[in-house]
Structure 1
Amino acid sequence: MTENHHMYEKLIKLTSERNVMVNELLRNHTYTRLGGKADFYVVPETYEQVQEIIKLANQEAIAFTMLGNGSNLIVKDGGIRGIVLNLQKLSDISTDGNRLIAQSGARIIDVSREALSQGLTGLEFACGIPGSVGGALFMNAGAYGGEIKDVLTSAVVANREGEILTLTAEQLDLDYRTSNIPDNGYIVLEATFTLRQGEHEAIKEIMDDLTNRRETKQPLEYPSCGSVFKRPPGYFAGKLIQDSDLQGKQIGGAQVSLKHAGFIVNKDNATAKEYIDLIHFVQSTVKQKFDVKLEREVKIIGEDLVK
């Protein structure tokens, strides 16, 4: 019995054959359409399965990576060793008065739509954010003047040992596009948002406006990771890139968007290396021209392709 087969048998016992894939191409699961293969791609259906998979990874000393829904992420061409976990099947959303409880795999867009349907205001800013609830907490996602920390009350997480903890929003140290979730090795399972009662039509009007702004200004016609860089203090990343004459700059199949300079798009079957090389080129050019350091918002994981 090979080591891979041994691990596969253990994983399907914890969940099922339909939820475990071997040598799965991760470009099929990322918004950029980039990324090599995962040794094991696992999609658990319950919190208990998540716990057991974490414990198995610890027992077998096998690497373990959370993928989320792959929206604010670049996976390198060599893929990811060990277990890659996706919580897309944990996607329930429910309400309790002015509280909204969403599982990690739910899309934050769908959570904002549920808030609208219940006449709850506070999550309008999230109506165009493509990530999952777990990813939104991971990076304290935000847009149009709002961010997750404005409305998050608590989260249920699994720690590195597979224990389930309930933490307050304050315990997650949410700040501009950061949290302590990665440093502590937490896997978000569930989030509780506290919202306010509002008027359905007024909430819908805001969401329609933000959706229209997003669709007209962002290059949604191509795969991308969304906004590549954090906003530098006192500047706008997109404006700096535009003023550096970088719109349309292309390395391989990756291009600085002509529609919005803060986006890099996968225009023509780019590799992750081409995409990352273009990020570095943009950073070095902006640094040289304006002496401003552009810090990545997008996360890069995985291994380089060995030829």
Structure 2
Amino acid sequence: MSDSADHLRPLAWKLRSIVGEDNVLEGEPMSGHTTFKIGGPADLYVIPEDPEEVRDVVAACGEAGEPYFVLGRGSDLLVSDDGYRGVIIAIADGLVNVSVDDEVMTCQAGVSLREASEMACELGLTGLEFACGIPGSVGGACFMNAGAYDGCMADVLASVRALMPDGSICDIDADDLQMGYRTSRVRTEGLVVLSASFKLREGDPEAIREKMDDLTQRRESKQPLELPSAGSTFKRPEGHFAGKLISDAGLQGYRVGGAEVSTKHAGFVVNVDNATAADVHAVIEHVQDEVERQFGVRLEPEVRFLP
């Protein structure tokens, strides 16, 4: 731990008593935990392995007055080059159990959407095909109501089990989650998803696989999946498509340092050559300014910035 983080030593000891010695890392580079492959070191990187440990870790951070961030698979995240001053709670490294009861599949928050959709396919359950190419975790997907190809979490989510701001653990029906475009109560009220239950339907495994293969092929043909990114960089502005606005503004290939507006899909900022977070920020801000100047539309990032 750096000298500047010495004040965290008592909290580090407390966290080790909760999750075990091996599950508390000091100075962990966040570049290894985001799909952008960017980010400096976190003061403490903590891996809880069950919901009760998540609750106790959050409580310990609160008692110590230290900031914390709940991390899924880092697929929509740009972490500062300076890293994170506080505690990263790494859900995707520990909460990965799945259970099935008839047509309801329950996944802990760290399960990847790809794994969830693959498992549903193997079980002959339809409904999660749209998620087969989304690189995030179940918890993160509930946070932002992730979606693709005319499907989204709100279509199949039955309920979530969440850690509430008061420290209690509650089951919440999907109808009560206020899910909208890239948002939900999870996001607006600071809930921590521990698990999610999906209401699926019986289907033909071959037909499900065929649909997933088709969506995968469409995604691979149109998106720059061969390069690190955080997926779609900007939210869809009302009445427009972000990628088309960026392309029409002549910004494909615009580059700062190692970050570039993808030449394959203008809606993606990609890490082409050891980009820094500062490089990505500069590209995003230039795109926002140019699109607004040319078309009067201010693009809103879908990527989250930490800090």
Query: What TM-score, normalized by structure 1, do the two folds share?
Result: 0.96
Tell me, in whole angstroms, the C-alpha distance in 2 between the residues paired with 1:47 and 1:234: 41
1:225 partner SS: coil
Corresponding letter in the other structure for 2:133: G
- Does residue 162 (structure 1) correspond to residue 178 (structure 2)? The answer is no
- Structure 1 position 134, deviation (Å): 0.5
SS in 2 for 1:167: strand
Shift of 1:10: 1.0
Give me the whole-angstrom Cα distance separating, in 2, the residues matched to 1:233 and 1:160: 32
State how far apart, in whole Å, the 2-side matches of 1:300 and 1:126 are: 23
Kindly report structure 1 stretches of 4+ aligned residues shifted beyond 2 Å. Answer: 2-5
2:82 alignment partner, one of 74, 78, 81: 78
Asked if the contact 2:33/2:74 (under 8 Å) is kept, the reply is yes
Corresponding residue number in structure 2 for 1:20: 24
Q: Does 1:64 align with 2:68?
A: yes
> 1:280 — aligned with what?
285
Structure 2 gaps of 5+ residues are 1-5
SS of the residue 1:149 aligns to: helix
**Do the aligned residues in 1 keep the contact of 2:112 with 2:137 (CA within 8 Å)?**
yes
Residue 102 of structure 1: aligned partner: 107
Matches within 5 A, 1:182-197: 182-197=187-202
Q: What number of residue pairs does the alignment pair up?
A: 302
SS of the aligned residue for 1:131 comes to coil
- Identity rate of aligned residues, in percent? 48
Query: Is the aligned partner of 1:248 residue 2:253?
Result: yes
Partner Cα separation in structure 1 for residue 295 and residue 48 of structure 2: 47
Kept in 1: contact 2:144–2:187 (CA 8 A): no
On the 8 A contact 1:54/1:161 being kept in 2, the answer is no
Q: Which range moves more in the overlay, 46-55 or 137-146?
A: 46-55
Which residue of the partner structure matches residue 240 of structure 2?
235
User: TM-score scaled by structure 2?
Assistant: 0.96
Match of residue 305 from structure 1: none
The one of 173, 178, 181 equivalent to 1:176 is 181
For structure 1, which runs of at least 5 residues remain unmatched after alignment?
303-307
Q: CA RMSD in A?
A: 1.2
Alpha-carbon offset, residue 182 of structure 1: 2.5
Distance 1:15 1:188 in 2: 18
1:222 aligns with 2:227: yes
Using CA pairs under 8 Å that are at least 6 residues apart, name the structure with larger relative contact order, 1 or 2. 1
Q: Which residue pairs with 2:3 in the alignment?
A: none
Letter in 2 for 1:270: A
SS of aligned partner of 2:231 = strand
Deviations 1:191-218 (CA, angstroms, capped at 9, x unpaired): 0000111111111111000001111111
Structure 2 partner of 1:140: 145
Looking at structure 2, the residues matched to 215 and 166 of structure 1 have their Cα atoms a distance apart, in angstroms, of 36
Q: Aligned-pair distance for 1:3?
A: 2.8
Q: More deviation in 155-164 or 11-20?
A: 155-164
